[in-house]
């Protein structure tokens, strides 16, 4: 193949020979050029078209699986390959774990470029399906059309509504979902109840471009304690329509313990600045990790795989090496789950988080668990952690940091370097940004232990816990 190939140029009988990060696989073309392809796995022979072409690499879309890899298995979901949620269903879970371990190793070595200890074998999830405690579905006036549908069309499409997940990379198109294997029932019962009810009554789905329609989103949380929370989001108040649909949900969907609604007239889907109204039951559910119980309200952040969160937090607690005399600082503490989980072995826990609502939940969670040595503060770590604050609360002996996918802000990295806690436990949901931060922390810390933990089977996402000790 020439170094430069036109977009949509056909490539025939290409052998996929390696896995790359972010759920993509790799083929090596002429002159060392690399082709990245989704939905293909090492060992596949495929036909593809180029959809993005650069000097040393290209991105392709598979058009035909000519010869499947010996690794391939049959996906279990009818929506596989379209919804974009579980991209690795065609791989045995044992093979997924091998690639995730490889991803952690590659990114820490390539990006971090610091001395590393041996990376421990990945901890797999005991639940490969039905492991999420939270899902959000979207009502859209625009159903997503597959490439096959578009190529087979004989006339211009009439827009159709859809209830499901956003199509990958498209903010205005939704993939119609009938059965999802990510969350226990009554999730699918609710989904199909809402679809049938809204269709029968011609309730308009939201059009995010025109900002018309009524039904916008539905969030469902199913806890391991057996409680179920639903939050229905609509675009404007319509008392009769709202009362009717909420009553129908309550009458039809089993096991609901908290039924809520939110009026969202904004241009975006975020509800964190909006009031959530509890229509039935209590305004929260409870989740349990070991012997600790946590209040989960409609806007709370909580690890979405409760079963595996225990394993992740157990690794974190072990790495912290608490003996009962340490002051533990929990940065990006959210609703306080990690700090509370580690609290039995800490002299004092200080949690810090930007989101004020999360801090209020953290305080309630600490009180509900009878913990009087846990304190939580809303604000930026760099503003809170002053000499006066340390004089009042103590300097950290151990820092736990659990940032979002973007990693830590460089100001926070510099603040940690100034705080000079003997130990830092870095819990990451993105090894690439973790590797970047570890390189900066290398100025004062050595990496002593590394433990990958898989929270999300059938996806490329992977968590990694690092123990850093002061040099």
The model's pLDDT over 278-330, given as tens digits with 9 standing for 90+, comes to 999 999 999 999 999 999 989 888 999 999 999 999 999 999 999 999 999 99
Neighbours of 227 (CB within 10 A): 19
Instruction: For residue 24, give both structure tokens.
Output: 């993509």
Shared domain check, 355 and 429: yes
Confidence at residue 20, expressed as pLDDT on a 0 to 100 scale: 86
Q: Give the residue-averaged pLDDT of 7-35.
A: 87
- pLDDT at residue 224 is higher than 50: yes
% of residues, the chain, pLDDT over 70:
98
Quick check: 55 and 29 in contact, CB under 8 A?
Answer: no
pLDDT at residue 3 greater than cutoff 50: no
Same-domain check for residues 42 and 141? no
The tally of domains found in the chain comes to: 3
* Cα pseudo-dihedral 307, 310, 313, 314, rounded to 10: -140
Please give the structure tokens belonging to residue 314. 């157990």
175 and 281 belong to one structural domain: yes
Cβ–Cβ < 8 Å for 213, 139: yes
Mean of the per-residue pLDDT values of the chain: 94
Give the mean model confidence (pLDDT) for residues 20-47. 90
Per DSSP, 255 falls in state T
- Whether residues 318 and 421 fall in one domain: yes
Range of 342's domain?
98-127+305-470
| CATH number, domain containing residue 344 | 3.40.50.150
Q: Which CATH number belongs to the domain containing residue 27 in this structure?
A: 2.40.50.140
Contact in structure between 8 and 61 (CB atoms under 8 Å): no
* 33 and 182 together in one domain: no
pLDDT bucket at 435, cuts 50 / 70 / 90? very high
Domain match, 170 and 254 both: yes
* Strand order through the sheet with 34-37: 10-15, 45-53, 57-67, 34-37, 25-28, 18-19
Instruction: Give yes or no: residues 349 and 454 share one domain.
Output: yes
The CATH number given to whatever domain includes residue 279 is: 2.40.50.1070
User: For this structure, is 342 an active site residue?
Assistant: no
| Separation between Cα atoms, residue 268 and residue 286, nearest integer Å | 28
Cα separation, 69 vs 76, whole angstroms: 17
Q: Is the pLDDT of residue 2 over 60?
A: no
DSSP string, 27-92: EE-GGG-EEEESS--TT-EEEEEEEEE-SSEEEEEEEEEEE--TT----S-TTTTTS-S-TTTTS-
Note whether 146 and 280 are same-domain residues. yes
Q: For the CA atoms of the chain, what is the radius of gyration?
A: 24
Asked which of 2-11, 240-249, 373-382, 435-444 is least confident by mean pLDDT, the reply is 2-11
Give residue for tokens 């490969």.
128
Q: Give the H or E element holding residue 163.
A: strand 162-166
How far apart (Å, rounded) are the C-alpha atoms in residues 249 and 239?
15
* Mean pLDDT score, 405-420: 93
Say yes or no: 437 and 387 in one domain.
Answer: yes
Query: Is 433 a residue whose pLDDT tops 70?
Result: yes
Residue 454 has pLDDT above 90, yes or no: yes
Q: Which pLDDT belongs to residue 5?
A: 53
The mean pLDDT of 102-114, rounded to a whole number, is 95
Give ∠ CA 77-58-12 in degrees, rounded to 5. Answer: 70
Q: What is the pLDDT of residue 133?
A: 97
Structural domain includes residue 90:
no
Same domain? For 108 and 182 the reply is: no
pTM for the model = 0.92
Query: CB neighbours of 290 closer than 8 A, spacing ≥ 6?
Result: 310, 341
Q: For residue 282, is it within any domain?
A: yes
Instruction: For residue 293, list its beta bridge partners.
Output: 288
Q: Which of 180, 342, 385, 429 is catalytic?
A: 429
Contacts of 63-67 with CB under 8 Å at 24 or more apart are 63/10, 65/40, 66/13
Say if 178 falls within a structural domain. yes
Determine, yes or no, domain membership for 57. Answer: yes
Q: Is residue 324 part of a domain?
A: yes
Last residue of a domain, one of 289, 315, 331: 289
pLDDT at 141 over 80: yes
* Average pLDDT rounded to a whole number, residues 172-201: 97
What's the CA gap between 162 and 138, in Å, rounded? 8
Q: Which of the listed residues 67, 90, 109 is the one where a domain comes to its end?
A: 67
Give CA–CA dist 455/463, Å, rounded. 7
Residues 316 and 457 in one domain: yes
Q: How confident is the model at residue 7 (pLDDT cuts 50, 70, 90)?
A: low
Closest CA to 95 of 464, 457, 461: 457
In a domain, 82, yes or no: no
Residues 395 and 418 in one domain: yes
- What tokens were used for 187? 């999730």
DSSP at 268: S
Place of tokens 């089993």: 254
Query: Which of 46, 67, 88 is a domain's end point?
Result: 67
pLDDT of residue 6: 59
Helix axes 431-441, 93-107, angle to 10 degrees: 30
Q: Is residue 5 part of a domain?
A: no
Which single residue is written with the structure tokens 């690399």?
A: 34
Per-residue pLDDT, 468: 98
Q: What are phi and psi of 158, to 5 degrees?
A: -95, 130
pLDDT value, residue 336: 95
Identify the pLDDT of residue 208.
93
- Residue 266 within a domain: yes
Q: d(Cα 41, Cα 26) in Å, to the nearest integer?
A: 8
């Amino acid at each position: 193949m020439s170094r430069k190939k036109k977009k949509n140029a056909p490539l025939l009988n290409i052998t996929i020979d390696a896995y790359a990060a972010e759920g993509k696989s790799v083929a090596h073309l002429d002159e060392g050029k690399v082709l990245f392809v989704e939905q293909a796995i090492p060992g596949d022979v495929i036909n593809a078209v180029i959809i993005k072409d650069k000097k040393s690499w290209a991105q392709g879309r598979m058009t035909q699986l000519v010869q499947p890899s010996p690794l391939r298995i049959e996906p279990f979901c009818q929506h596989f390959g379209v919804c974009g949620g579980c991209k690795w269903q065609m791989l045995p879970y044992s093979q997924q774990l091998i690639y995730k371990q490889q991803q952690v190793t590659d990114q820490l070595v390539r990006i971090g470029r610091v001395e590393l200890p041996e990376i421990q074998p990945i901890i797999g999830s005991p639940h490969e399906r039905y492991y999420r405690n939270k899902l959000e579905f979207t009502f859209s006036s625009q159903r997503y059309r597959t490439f096959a549908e578009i190529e087979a069309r004989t006339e211009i499409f009439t827009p159709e509504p859809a209830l499901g997940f956003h199509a990958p990379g498209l903010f205005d198109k939704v993939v119609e979902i009938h059965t999802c294997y990510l969350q226990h029932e009554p999730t699918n019962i609710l989904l199909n109840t809402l679809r049938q009810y809204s269709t029968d009554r011609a309730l308009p789905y939201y059009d995010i471009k025109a900002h018309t329609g009524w039904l916008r989103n539905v969030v469902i949380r199913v806890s391991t304690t057996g409680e179920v929370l639903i939050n229905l989001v609509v675009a404007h108040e319509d008392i009769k329509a709202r009362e009717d649909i909420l009553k129908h949900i309550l009458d039809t969907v089993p096991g609901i313990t908290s039924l809520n609604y939110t009026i969202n007239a904004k241009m975006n889907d975020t509800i964190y600045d909006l009031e959530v109204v509890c229509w039935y039951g209590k305004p929260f559910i409870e989740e349990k990790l070991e012997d600790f119980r946590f209040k989960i309200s409609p806007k709370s952040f909580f690890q979405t795989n409760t079963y595996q969160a225990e394993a992740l937090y157990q690794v974190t607690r072990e790495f912290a090496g608490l003996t009962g005399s340490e002051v533990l600082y929990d940065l990006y503490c959210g609703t306080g789950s990690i700090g509370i989980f580690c609290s039995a072995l800490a002299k004092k826990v200080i949690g810090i988080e930007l989101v004020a609502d999360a801090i209020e939940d953290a305080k309630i969670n600490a009180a509900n668990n009878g913990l009087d040595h846990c304190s939580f503060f809303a604000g930026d770590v760099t503003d809170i952690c002053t000499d006066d604050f340390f004089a009042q609360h103590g300097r950290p002996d151990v820092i736990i940091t659990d940032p979002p996918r973007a990693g830590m802000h460089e100001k926070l990295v510099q603040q940690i370097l100034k705080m000079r806690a003997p130990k830092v436990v870095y819990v990451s949901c993105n090894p690439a940004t973790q590797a970047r931060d570890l390189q900066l922390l290398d100025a004062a810390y050595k990496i002593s232990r590394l433990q990958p933990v898989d929270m999300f089977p059938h996806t490329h996402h992977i968590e990694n816990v690092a123990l850093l000790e002061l040099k």
